[in-house]
C-alpha cells in the first residue's frame, strides 16, 4: 500500500468521523429546537397505533437514529411508561423516520447547486457565526443545526473524494458482483457492518457514498440495505440485556419486524432480479438507494400493521415468563429506580418528563407520610408511627435515586431553560427530603407522647389541627404548582404559608399562657411547641418548592433559605 493509498484511507476515515459527528450535532440542535414539543409527543402514543407510528417516525427524524429511538422505547417499556402494544407502533415508525438521513445524503445528486462543496462551507460559516455571536438562544440552536448539517456534508465529500480514484478498481466490481449474486451474503454483510458501527444511518450513508462513485449495482445495494435494517436491531438487543422481560420483548419485536421485512422483500427482489438480470447488474445511485430504502420501510410497516398484536404474542412466546422470574413486590423507591431507566437519557426532553413525574411521586409520598405522622399525634397508634419511620427511609432512598439521575440529565444537551428547571428540581428534591425529616420528627414526638402517656388538652388538639390543616394545604398547593407548572397554585401556597406563620406565633403565645396558668402540663407544652415549629418549617419548604415554579415562569419570587 502506497503513501497515497494510506492518505486516501485516512481521508475516508476522517470523512466518516465528520459525517457521524455532524449528524450528532444536527440532532442535538433539532432536539433543543423541538424542546417541550418532544415531551408532548409521548401523550399521543396512547391514542392509536397510527399515531404511535407517526410519533416514532417524527422522533427518529429529529434525533437521526432509529437505534436511539428503539433503545428509548426499550427504556420506556422497562420503566412501565409504555405497553408492548404501544411500543410496536413506535418501532415501526422509527424505521420510516431513519430514511430521512438517506435523503439528506442523496441531496448531492439533486443538482449541482445541492452538492456539498457548493453550499456546505457557507452554511458552516453562518452556523458558526450564530453559535458564537448570536444572543438569542433560538438563533444559537439554528446555528448548531447548520453547523451539524454542514459538517455532515463535508464529511460525505471527504469520503466520496477518497473513493473516487478507486472507482475503476476491479476489487469493487468483483465484491459487489459477488454480493449481488449471493443475497444471503449481502444481507449478512449489511447486518455485520451496521452492527459494528451501531448506526444504520451511517452504514446506508457509506453505501450511498460508494453509489455516488458508480461502483454499486442494484442487486448488492438492495440486499445490503435489507441487512442494514437487521443490523440496526443489535443496539436495542444489547440495551435490553439487563432489562425486564417486556423490555427484552420490545427489542425482540424490533428484530422480528426487520427480519420478516428483509425475508419477504428479499425474496420478492430476488425473483424480480432473476427475471431482469440486466437491471440487477446495472449501477445504482444514492437517490435510488433513498427511494428503495423509503419504499421498503413504508411497505414493510403497512404489511405488518395488521399483525402487530401477533408480533407481541410471538415475542412473549420467544421470551417467556417463568416462576423463577417472579419478583416480590417492588418498594416505592425501587419503582422509582425502574421508572428512571437510563435508556431514556437518549432523549433529553423525555428524560426531563420522566424526572418531573417522579418528583411529583416523591412529593405525594412525602405528603402522605406527613399526614400519617399527624395521625400518630392524634391517635397514638404504634403501627402508624412505625410506618412513618419506615417511609422516611424510603424518602431518603428516593432523594438519592433522584439526585443521581438529575446529575445525568443535567449533563445532557439541554437548553438554558431546561438546565434551570433541572437546577430547581435538585432543590425541590432536597426540600421534600427535609419535609420528610420534619414528618419523622413529628412521629418521634407522637411516639414519646405514647410512651409517656402525654396528651394535649381539647383546646391544644383543636389548635394543633388548625395549623396542621393549613400546613397540609400549603404543601398540597406547592406540589400542584410543581406538577402543573402553575404560578396561581404557587401564589395560593404563599397565602397558606402566611397563615401558618401567623398561627405559629399566635399558638405559641397562647400555649405559653396555658402553661403559666397551669391549664396544661409542661411535658405536653414542650411537645406542642416542637410540633408547631416543625409544621412551620414544613410550610417554609413548601414555599421554596412553589418559589422555584414561579421563578421559572419569570415572576421573580425568590425561594426562602430557611435552614
Q: Per residue in 18-35, pLDDT tens?
A: 777 776 777 677 666 655
Residue with cell 470523512: 15
Give the whole-angstrom CA distance, residue 29 versus residue 17: 18
Residue 408 has pLDDT above 70, yes or no: yes
Q: Which CA distances in Å does 10 have to 120, 160, 172, 218, 548?
A: 21, 13, 19, 28, 52
Give the whole-angstrom CA distance, residue 187 versus residue 195: 12
pLDDT-wise least confident of 73-87, 113-127, 159-173, 504-518:
159-173
pLDDT score recorded for residue 300: 93
Q: What is the mean pLDDT of residues 557-562?
A: 42
Residue spans of the domains in the chain: they are: 3-318, 332-552
pLDDT-wise least confident of 271-280, 338-347, 374-383, 406-415:
338-347
Q: How confident is the model at residue 437 (pLDDT cuts 50, 70, 90)?
A: very high
Q: 310 vs 414, which has greater pLDDT? A: 310
Q: How confident is the model at residue 345 (pLDDT cuts 50, 70, 90)?
A: confident
CB of 84 closer than 8 Å to CB of 250: yes
Share of the chain above pLDDT 90, in %: 28
Torsion, CA 369, CA 429, CA 425, CA 43, rounded to 10:
-40
The burial of 326, by beta-carbon neighbours within 10 Å (0-12 exposed, 13-18 middle, 19 or more buried), is given as exposed
CB of 339 closer than 8 Å to CB of 405: no
Q: What is the mean pLDDT of residues 240-261?
A: 85
Q: 153 vs 256, which has greater pLDDT? A: 256
Residue 165 has pLDDT above 70, yes or no: no
In the chain, the largest separation of any two C-alpha atoms, in whole Å, equals 109
Q: How confident is the model at residue 461 (pLDDT cuts 50, 70, 90)?
A: confident
Q: What is the mean pLDDT of residues 284-313?
A: 90
Give the whole-angstrom CA distance, residue 339 versus residue 106: 40
pLDDT score recorded for residue 563: 44
Q: 248 vs 388, which has greater pLDDT? A: 388
Q: What is the mean pLDDT of the chain?
A: 81
Neighbours of 352 (CB within 10 A): 23
Residue 451 has pLDDT above 80, yes or no: yes
pTM: 0.70
- Continuous H helices in 305-347: 308-318, 332-339
pLDDT in tens, 216-244: 889 888 999 998 888 888 877 877 776 77
pLDDT in tens, 71-108: 778 877 876 767 788 888 888 988 898 888 778 777 76
Q: 38 vs 99, which has greater pLDDT? A: 99
Q: What is the mean pLDDT of residues 431-451?
A: 93
Residue 444 has pLDDT above 90, yes or no: yes
Residue 308 has pLDDT above 80, yes or no: yes
Q: What is the mean pLDDT of residues 482-506?
A: 90
Q: 294 vs 14, which has greater pLDDT? A: 294
CB of 156 closer than 8 Å to CB of 117: no
Give the whole-angstrom CA distance, residue 220 versus residue 228: 12
Residue with cell 445528486: 109
Q: What is the mean pLDDT of residues 418-424?
A: 89
Give the whole-angstrom CA distance, residue 311 versus residue 305: 10
CATH classification (class only), 332-552: mainly alpha
Q: Is 363 helix (H, G, I), strand (E, B) or coil?
A: helix
Of 320-334, 449-463, 532-546, which one has max mean pLDDT?
532-546
CB of 173 closer than 8 Å to CB of 219: no
Neighbours of 286 (CB within 10 A): 28
Nine-digit cell at 334? Answer: 425501587
Nine-digit cell at 100? Answer: 430521512
Amino acid at each position: 500500500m502506497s503513501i497515497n493509498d494510506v492518505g486516501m484511507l485516512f481521508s475516508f476515515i476522517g470523512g466518516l468521523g465528520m459525517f457521524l459527528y455532524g449528524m450528532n450535532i444536527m440532532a442535538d440542535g433539532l432536539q433543543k429546537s423541538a424542546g417541550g414539543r418532544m415531551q408532548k409527543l409521548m401523550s399521543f402514543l396512547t391514542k392509536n397505533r397510527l399515531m404511535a407510528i407517526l410519533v416514532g417516525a417524527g422522533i427518529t427524524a429529529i434525533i437521526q437514529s432509529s437505534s436511539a429511538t428503539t433503545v428509548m422505547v426499550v427504556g420506556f417499556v422497562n420503566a412501565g411508561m409504555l405497553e408492548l402494544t404501544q411500543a410496536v407502533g413506535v418501532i415501526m415508525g422509527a424505521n420510516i423516520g431513519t430514511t430521512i438521513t438517506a435523503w439528506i445524503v442523496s441531496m448531492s445528486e439533486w443538482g449541482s447547486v445541492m452538492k456539498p462543496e457548493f453550499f456546505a462551507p457557507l452554511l458552516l460559516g453562518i452556523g458558526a457565526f450564530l453559535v458564537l455571536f448570536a444572543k438569542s438562544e433560538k438563533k444559537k440552536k439554528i446555528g448548531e443545526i447548520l453547523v451539524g448539517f454542514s459538517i455532515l456534508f463535508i464529511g460525505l465529500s471527504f469520503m466520496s473524494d477518497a473513493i473516487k480514484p478507486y472507482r475503476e478498481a476491479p476489487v469493487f466490481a468483483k465484491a459487489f458482483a459477488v454480493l449481488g449474486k449471493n443475497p444471503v451474503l449481502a444481507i449478512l454483510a449489511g447486518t455485520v457492518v451496521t452492527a459494528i458501527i451501531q448506526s444504520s444511518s451511517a452504514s446506508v450513508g457509506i453505501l450511498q457514498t460508494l453509489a455516488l462513485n458508480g461502483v454499486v449495482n442494484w442487486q448488492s445495494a438492495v440486499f445490503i440495505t435489507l441487512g442494514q435494517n437487521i443490523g440496526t436491531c443489535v443496539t436495542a438487543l444489547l440495551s435490553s440485556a439487563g432489562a425486564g422481560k417486556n423490555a427484552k420483548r420490545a427489542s425482540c419485536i424490533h428484530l422480528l419486524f426487520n427480519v420478516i421485512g428483509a425475508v419477504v422483500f428479499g425474496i420478492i427482489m430476488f425473483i424480480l432480479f432473476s427475471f431482469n438480470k440486466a437491471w440487477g447488474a446495472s449501477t445504482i445511485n444514492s437517490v435510488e438507494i433513498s427511494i428503495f430504502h423509503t419504499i421498503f420501510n413504508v411497505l414493510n410497516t403497512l404489511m405488518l400493521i395488521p399483525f402487530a398484536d401477533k408480533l407481541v404474542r410471538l415475542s412473549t412466546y420467544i421470551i417467556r415468563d417463568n416462576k423463577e422470574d417472579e419478583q416480590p413486590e417492588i418498594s416505592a423507591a425501587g419503582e422509582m429506580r425502574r421508572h428512571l431507566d437510563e435508556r431514556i437519557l437518549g432523549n433529553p426532553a423525555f428524560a426531563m418528563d420522566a424526572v418531573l413525574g417522579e418528583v411529583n411521586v416523591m412529593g405525594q409520598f412525602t405528603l402522605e407520610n406527613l399526614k400519617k405522622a399527624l395521625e400518630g399525634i392524634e391517635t397514638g397508634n404504634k403501627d402508624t408511627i412505625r410506618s412513618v419511620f419506615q417511609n422516611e427511609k424510603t424518602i431518603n432512598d428516593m432523594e438519592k435515586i433522584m439526585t443521581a439521575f438529575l446529575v445525568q440529565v443535567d449533563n445532557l444537551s439541554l437548553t438554558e431553560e431546561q438546565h434551570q428547571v433541572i437546577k430547581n428540581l435538585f432543590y425541590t428534591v432536597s426540600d421534600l427530603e427535609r419535609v420528610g425529616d420534619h414528618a419523622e420528627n413529628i412521629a418521634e414526638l407522637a411516639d414519646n407522647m405514647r410512651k409517656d402517656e402525654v396528651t394535649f388538652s381539647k383546646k391544644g388538639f383543636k389548635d394543633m389541627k388548625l395549623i396542621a390543616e393549613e400546613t397540609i394545604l400549603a404543601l398540597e398547593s406547592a406540589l400542584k404548582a410543581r406538577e402543573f407548572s402553575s404560578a396561581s397554585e404557587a401564589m395560593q401556597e404563599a397565602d397558606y404559608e402566611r397563615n401558618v406563620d401567623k398561627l405559629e406565633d399566635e399558638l405559641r403565645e397562647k400555649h405559653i399562657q396555658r402553661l403559666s396558668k397551669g391549664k396544661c402540663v409542661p411535658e405536653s407544652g414542650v411537645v406542642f411547641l416542637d410540633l408547631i415549629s416543625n409544621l412551620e418549617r414544613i410550610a417554609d419548604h413548601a414555599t421554596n418548592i412553589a418559589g422555584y415554579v414561579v421563578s421559572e415562569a419569570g415572576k421573580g419570587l425568590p425561594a426562602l433559605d430557611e435552614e
